[in-house]
């Protein structure tokens, strides 16, 4: 569907409500969904693979990547330097961003049949070389933006596929209804991006849950920094312990929840708790993490029923509902998800 100003999930939700107070809005939503929309050209491609002795040909949508260069200013979007089908630019950050967006797109399509950030084949926009010695990467609501780092602590944010997929993941969360970027809902927003970041990397490397590092941002620290990554989903609080940066402050359990007013209420700190819950669920189920645990988390945010202000407990309940819908109430998936949230102190253990 070509996207309109009202996202399709919202129209679907309105159209299906049986609340008599919303009858007029529901009817309007149904009419809107029924109107044929102008078609927009979308990109497609033929992918070939070998399964056993069989050559498999598969057609599917393709990404539409546009990379711009801010030339070390803070002006967005910058000069367009590489578009879809262009060859390598020779600029490392440009080409890393281009490749990373492609690998992230492939992950979302292969795992969830999602066609890009808006699920409708919209362009994937990114800007590199943002700012002067800029030690950050972010999602600005329209595009992914990457600094080069200062060279002393960070050496470039496009080096890590998990970072690129983390930023693209913020776009997916926003397009799916969003989670308010404050407190626990903000920490869930952050955690979802870490989940997508880790899964995109595992998908690209064909790694199972027990083979993966579960690190976010490996390779973006300078050699002198005493740390291996920004965060560890497997062991929150252990990613770095450095003279200048201090120690990784992430908790992995509710008893260690950090109350703070900075960082939008600690969204990058307390995300360690839902991160650990996802890791526990994924490793309990085994295999490729995107196939079951990832699908449950994805269904949770795209069902159109999650409140943008959901806290950890509400999100845990929503993952249990998603698991039950997908696999059944008595499934091992529901049991694994319940045990995972109990393992981080968000839910109680199931009664024996």
Partner 1 sequence: MPQPDTENDAESAGRFVVIVVRSGGLAGLSKQWRAEPDPDGLPRWQQLVESCPWDDAPAASRGADRYQWRIEVHHGDTAVHQARLDDGQVEGPWRTLVDEVRQAAPSRPVRR
**Per CB under 8 A, does 157 bind partner 1?**
yes
Question: Pick from 254, 258, 324, 339: which binds partner 1 (CB under 8 A)?
Answer: 258
Q: Is 174 a catalytic residue?
A: no
Interface with partner 1 by CB under 8 A: which range of 60-68, 98-106, 241-249, 331-339? 241-249
**Per CB under 8 A, does 190 bind partner 1?**
yes
| DSSP annotation of 202 | H
**Per CB under 8 A, does 230 bind partner 1?**
yes
- Bridge-based pairing state of the strands 79-83 and 124-130: unpaired
Least distance to partner 1, CB of residue 217, Å: 7
What does the DSSP assignment read for 232-290? ESSSTT-SBEETTTEE----SSGGGPPP-SSHHHHTTTTTHHHHHHHHHHHHHH-S-TT
| Residues in the chain, overall count | 352
Question: Pick from 163, 165, 296, 318: which binds partner 1 (CB under 8 A)?
Answer: 163
| DSSP annotation of 346 | S
Other CB atoms within a 10 A radius of the CB of residue 85 amount to: 9
Least distance to partner 1, CB of residue 212, Å: 20
Other CB atoms within a 10 A radius of the CB of residue 15 amount to: 17
Binding flags for partner 1, 84-103, as an x/- string (CB under 8 A): --------------------
Question: Pick from 36, 38, 90, 246: which binds partner 1 (CB under 8 A)?
Answer: 246
Q: Is 170 a catalytic residue?
A: no
Residues 6+ apart with CB under 8 A from 24: none
Assigned token pair, 244 = 């200048």
Q: 81 with 68: CB under 8 angstroms?
A: yes
Catalytic entry in 167, 174, 201, 347: 167
Using CB under 8 A, count the residues that bind partner 1.
34
**Per CB under 8 A, does 255 bind partner 1?**
no
Interface residues toward partner 1, by CB under 8 A: 135-142, 154, 157, 163, 166-167, 170, 174, 181, 189-190, 193, 217, 230, 244-246, 249, 258, 260-264, 267-269
């Amino acid at each position: 569907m070509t996207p309109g100003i009202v996202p399709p999930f919202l129209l679907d939700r309105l159209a299906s409500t049986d609340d008599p107070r919303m009858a007029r809005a529901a009817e309007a939503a149904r009419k809107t969904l029924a109107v044929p929309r102008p078609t927009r050209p979308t990109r497609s491609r033929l992918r070939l693979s070998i399964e056993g002795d069989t050559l498999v040909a598969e057609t599917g949508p393709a990404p539409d990547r546009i990379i711009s260069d801010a030339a070390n200013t803070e002006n967005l979007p910058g000069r367009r330097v590489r578009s879809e089908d262009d060859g390598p630019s020779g600029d490392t950050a440009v080409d890393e961003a281009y490749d990373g967006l492609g690998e992230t797109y492939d992950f979302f399509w292969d795992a969830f049949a999602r066609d890009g950030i808006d699920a409708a084949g919209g362009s994937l926009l990114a800007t590199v070389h943002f700012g002067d010695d800029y030690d950050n990467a972010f999602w600005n609501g329209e595009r992914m933006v990457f600094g080069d780092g200062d060279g002393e602590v960070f050496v470039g944010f496009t080096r890590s596929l998990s970072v690129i997929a983390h930023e693209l993941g913020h776009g997916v969360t926003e397009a799916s209804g969003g989670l308010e970027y404050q407190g626990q809902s903000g920490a869930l927003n952050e955690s979802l991006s870490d989940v997508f970041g880790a899964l995109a990397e595992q998908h690209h490397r064909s790694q199972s849950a027990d083979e993966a590092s579960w690190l976010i941002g490996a390779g973006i620290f300078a050699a002198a920094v005493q740390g291996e990554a920004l965060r560890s989903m497997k062991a929150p609080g252990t990613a770095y312990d450095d003279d200048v940066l201090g120690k990784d402050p992430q908790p992995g359990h509710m008893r260690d929840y950090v109350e703070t007013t900075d960082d939008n209420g600690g969204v990058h700190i307390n995300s360690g708790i839902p991160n650990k819950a996802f890791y526990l669920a994924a490793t309990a189920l085994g295999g490729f993490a995107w196939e079951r645990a990832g699908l449950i988390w994805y269904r949770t945010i795209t069902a159109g029923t999650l409140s943008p202000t959901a806290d950890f407990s509400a999100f845990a309940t929503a993952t249990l509902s998603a698991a039950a819908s997908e696999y059944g109430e008595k499934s091992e998936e529901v049991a694994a998800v319940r045990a995972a949230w109990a393992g981080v102190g968000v839910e109680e253990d199931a009664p024996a």
